[in-house]
């Protein structure tokens, strides 16, 4: 079901969005595409008279409050894009937040502070999930980019909210993905990136049986590269996934699927801004 299939009038509609947007050194948003993608869902809820509670993660604060990862800049951008007041809550759970939500009127919009300021979000802690559910009559998942994660705001909360549905962005992405996988245009190429292999096991295994080519990029490439016996220095590697990485690569090649990893990369002695960099070959 989607948000169109339920009556949201007067209800507290808790929308899990993906507002993980890039910020510059002055905490200004440099690309608000992810915010704009969720606007159809938000506007529908507003137009139908819902009390709209928005939540998201931003960056990796590792369960602690880190001001550079505050969603305050997102609240300002939402106010401009929606052309209406957006109340920004200083936390995402607790009495203060519950009081703010209790005073909402139909059409009001509240944005909660970064979910990942609490360790219970990423650990899918039941108590944290219940605390979030206190703010919701209807749960809407519109965070396709984070939907694979077993986090409290994605998985845990749905056990405690009576109605859970998809938002418009989620529906659009699923419809497109189902069509692309079921009847792909050949050659069918899967481009996989991100930091971790472990977070994409299901995707890799499922797509590996349907595609003609696989291109591995991002931080996860180093796990594949090390599994092949090459040096990767201090680059991010999932040691526990080396055997899996080799298995997937060999399985794909046995089926005639072309498997590509980076031939070169940019290296530096540190991640500090201004660190000297150079391009080196991977082999």
pLDDT tens across 150-179, in order?
999 999 999 999 999 999 999 999 998 888
Task: Note the pLDDT of residue 205.
Answer: 79
Neighbouring C-alpha atoms within 13 Å toward the C-beta of 113? 20
pTM of the model: 0.79
- Stretches where the chain sits below pLDDT 50 are none
> For 223-273, how does the pLDDT look when each residue is reduced to its tens digit (9 = 90+)?
999 999 988 888 889 999 999 999 988 988 898 999 999 999 898 888 787
Paired tokens of 67 = 């001001």
Are 163 and 139 contacting, i.e. CB atoms less than 8 angstroms apart?
Answer: yes
In whole angstroms, what is the distance from residue 268 CA to residue 248 CA? Answer: 29
Task: Note the pLDDT of residue 25.
Answer: 86
Are 261 and 227 contacting, i.e. CB atoms less than 8 angstroms apart?
Answer: no
179-281 belongs to CATH 3.40.50.1260: yes
Are 88 and 53 contacting, i.e. CB atoms less than 8 angstroms apart?
Answer: no
Task: Provide CATH 3.40.50.1260 ranges for the chain.
Answer: 3-170, 179-281
Task: Note the pLDDT of residue 207.
Answer: 78
- State residue 163 phi and psi, 5-degree precision: -130, 125
Task: Note the pLDDT of residue 148.
Answer: 84
In whole angstroms, what is the distance from residue 160 CA to residue 91 CA? Answer: 20
Are 161 and 55 contacting, i.e. CB atoms less than 8 angstroms apart?
Answer: no
Paired tokens of 5 = 């299939």
Task: Note the pLDDT of residue 204.
Answer: 79
Q: Cβ-count burial of 78 within 10 angstroms (0-12 exposed, 13-18 middle, 19+ buried)?
A: buried
- Name the 3-class secondary structure at 99: helix
- Name the 3-class secondary structure at 117: helix
Task: Note the pLDDT of residue 71.
Answer: 98
Task: Note the pLDDT of residue 273.
Answer: 79
Task: Note the pLDDT of residue 194.
Answer: 84
CATH superfamily of 3-170: Phosphoglycerate kinase, N-terminal domain (3.40.50.1260)
Neighbouring C-alpha atoms within 13 Å toward the C-beta of 138? 22
């Amino acid at each position: 079901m989607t948000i169109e299939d339920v009556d949201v009038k007067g209800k507290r509609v808790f929308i899990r969005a993906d507002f993980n947007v890039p910020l510059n050194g002055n905490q200004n948003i440099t690309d608000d595409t992810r915010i704009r993608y969720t606007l159809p869902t938000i506007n529908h809820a507003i137009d139908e008279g819902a009390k709209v509670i928005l939540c998201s993660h931003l960056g990796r604060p590792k369960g602690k409050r880190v001001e550079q990862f505050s969603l305050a800049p997102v609240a300002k951008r939402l106010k401009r894009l929606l052309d209406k007041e957006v109340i920004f809550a200083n936390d995402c759970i607790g009495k203060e937040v519950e009081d703010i939500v209790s005073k909402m009127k139909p059409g009001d919009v509240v944005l909660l502070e970064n979910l990942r300021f609490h360790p219970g979000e990423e650990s899918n802690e039941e108590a944290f999930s219940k605390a979030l559910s206190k703010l919701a009559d209807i749960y809407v998942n519109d965070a396709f980019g984070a939907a694979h994660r077993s986090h409290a705001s994605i998985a845990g909360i749905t056990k405690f909210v009576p109605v859970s549905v998809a938002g418009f962005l989620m529906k659009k992405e699923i419809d497109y993905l189902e069509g692309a996988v079921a009847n792909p245009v050949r050659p069918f190429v899967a481009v996989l990136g991100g930091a971790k292999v472990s977070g994409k096991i299901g995707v890799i295994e499922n797509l590996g049986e349907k595609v003609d080519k696989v291109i591995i990029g991002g931080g996860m490439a180093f796990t594949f590269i090390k599994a092949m016996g090459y040096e990767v220095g201090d680059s991010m590697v999932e040691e526990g996934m080396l055997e899996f990485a080799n298995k997937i690569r060999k399985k794909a090649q046995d089926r005639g699927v072309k498997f590509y990893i980076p031939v070169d990369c940019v290296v530096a002695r540190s991640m500090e801004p201004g660190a000297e960099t150079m391009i080196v070959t991977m082999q």
